[in-house]
Amino acid sequence: MTSINFLRPLLFALFCTVVGTLHAQRDARLDSLLNAASDLVTTGYPDSSMNLYLRALRLAEKLDDKSALANIYYNMGLINQRQQNNKKADEQIHQALRYAELAKDTSPTANICLMAGVMAFLLEKTDSCAYWFNRSAALFEALGREDKAAFARSKLGNIYEAQGQFALATPLFEQALKTAQKSQDSTRLMGAYINMATNALNLKQYPSALKYAQDARQFAAALGRDFEYQEMLSIESAIHEGMGNSRAAIQVLRQYVQHHDSVLNIQRTRHIAELETRYETEKKESTIAAQEQALQDARIRFGLIATLLLLALAGGGLLFRLTRQLRKRNAEKEFLIKEIHHRVKNNLQVLSSLLHLQSRQITDEAALDAVREGQNRVDAMSLIHQKLYMGDNIAAVDMPDYLQQLGDTLLDSFGYHDDGRVQMRYAVQPIRLDVDTAVPLGLIINELVTNSLKYAFPEGRAGTVEIALWKDDAGRLCLKVADDGVGKAGAPNLKGSTAFGTNLVQMLSKKLKGTPQVQDSGAGYSTLIAFENYTVVP
């Protein structure tokens, strides 16, 4: 009995050692899965990374490792957010927060709260953004991380900026700039100066905005950040324009175009180098294949069956090579077509900017209206080319998205975005049209909506403009632009208008085999056109 009591502590110690070893092995396996998943995300393989995180999730649940569960759900949320699956990402971020709080891990909790604020903004839950960013900042301050606390509050500043509350955003951006200057981190300094520049521009504090924009551009150049560099050139052009310095604005705009073209040239040079490398590789492969074929040709003399087999193999190889070459050529053609659309869009944007600058020098109201309407027409065409080079189909324009942006642009052009007096309403079927249909249709809609915004709501009257686009039972493409304004008889300014817009609508409608039908009830004005000549892209 005494010997058994003596052995009990030894057996218990051995048991603890074995259990501890197994737990360490499981932790090591979990760490390996998490490290491998993180590496796959970094190298651009989100699907493979998600599979590893799911495996790690099952293992962490068995171990009841709350810190690991918080880490896994957080990274799964990031992957879903990058893939535009925002609802799923938001659920996983809140799962991560629950486990981080259970584990009482303050630093991960602070980071997760920051991401929860970002998700609230993406899901348009702006009322809760302030809570998440302030909570994140408070946790970082408790950890002594003043830099991260200031960064969290700068995110709240971005929310205020998006809501047009620029004065509320100012102290938050200033604090972020101070902490960035203390850390001397170039990336943070660049971001802080960008925030200060855009906010000062919105507040029309042009001298300060210009200095911040120039500082941000210097850091962007040093870091090799071409996107931010071009963005600051655009901001500087807008600042000079706001200060009334049209010549400086045009010079910066030209610098923007030159820098943009140089970046495109660098990308094109890299692409050409890749094509040349592929060509040399394929040439060597072709030489090796020819040598192998010669050896096989020497052997096929021994029999008819061997000859037929070798011919079949050679034919299959040739077909594979031709298929690969065709795919490569198609990819190159698609790249060049997108490049053309990008160039056309850039040129139209430059033309729009020049018209805008010119309009600032015009005092005659009739001439000013004509220039502004011309600028709106250029913007309508520019938006189509932007959709073509940014979309997944270079031959199709997604009409619901395009008309939404076109309507918002026209509201902003007439200043209705600021007071909200006039609203846009859309009833657009999910239709994708080719560029030959989308361009004249976009110009028609631009003219009709401009007509409503210009004449239908005089003397501060509020109202709604509706854009509807659908296919009827007869297979025609139907367009309706209507407003609930004063009608034609109640629009005194209409008497002094030209017939250019009306003639343009008639001409473009005729091209698409459509005839405008005007309905003027006195309490509103609408135009209905049914087109027979159009092309839908599947």
Domain locations in the chain? Answer: 1-144, 393-538
**Fold matches, 1-144 and 393-538:** no
Give CA–CA dist 157/160, Å, rounded. Answer: 5
Give CA–CA dist 236/230, Å, rounded. Answer: 10
* Domain made up of 393-538: CATH architecture: 2-Layer Sandwich (3.30)
Give CA–CA dist 219/216, Å, rounded. Answer: 5
Q: Are 434 and 395 in contact (CB under 8 A)?
A: yes
Tokens 């692409």 locate to 271
Give CA–CA dist 440/448, Å, rounded. Answer: 12
Tens digits of pLDDT across the chain (538 residues): 443 444 444 444 433 433 333 333 446 788 888 888 787 777 677 788 888 888 888 988 888 899 889 999 999 999 888 888 889 999 999 999 999 999 888 889 989 998 998 888 888 888 888 889 888 888 988 888 888 888 888 887 888 888 888 888 888 888 888 888 888 888 888 888 898 888 888 988 888 888 888 888 888 888 888 888 888 888 888 888 888 887 877 887 787 777 665 554 444 444 444 445 454 545 555 554 566 576 677 667 666 786 777 777 777 777 777 767 767 665 555 555 555 545 665 666 666 666 666 666 676 766 766 666 676 667 766 666 665 556 566 668 888 988 888 888 888 888 887 778 899 999 999 999 998 898 899 899 988 998 888 888 888 889 999 999 999 999 999 999 999 988 877 666 655 555 677 888 999 999 999 999 988 766 788 999 999 999 998 8
* Coil, helix or strand at residue 224: coil
1-144 belongs to CATH 1.10.287.1770 = no
Give CA–CA dist 168/203, Å, rounded. Answer: 11
